[in-house]
Amino acid sequence: MFTANLIYNFYIMLKNILNLKGAQQLSKKEQNLINGGSGDCQTEFQCMSQCINGECRSFPLPMSPSGVECWECYEEGGGNQ
């Protein structure tokens, strides 16, 4: 019964997340590009927590048809960290 409740709660949570404005479900290929890619792709939160002396900027993930974005930290001089 515990497992069934856990799965049900996960399903409800996923539906709530996907109902957020601008949220979209990633395909398996897009998930692999993010999780198993080169390791250079950061979320906005990861960038902001690590970027102390610069500015976080987003860029589209290559080969992503739905516009998945990665974030990088750029120093004030223009180079990335």
The greatest distance separating any two alpha carbons of the chain, rounded to the nearest whole angstrom, comes to 57
Quickly list DSSP for 5-21.
HHHHHHHHHHHHHHTST
Who's near 21: CB < 8 A, 6+ residues apart?
A: none
Check residue 45 and give its pLDDT.
Answer: 83
Alpha carbons 34 and 46: distance in angstroms, whole number: 13
Strands 69-75 and 54-60: antiparallel
- Residue 60's pLDDT is 76
**pLDDT score of 32:** 64
- Average pLDDT, consecutive stretches of 10 residues, N- to C-terminus, the chain (81 residues): 87 82 75 57 81 82 68 68 52
Instruction: Kindly list the domain boundaries of the chain, sorted by start residue.
Output: 2-75
| pTM of the predicted model as reported, rounded to 2 decimal places | 0.38
Q: Where does 1-81 have alpha helices with state H?
A: 2-18, 28-35, 44-50
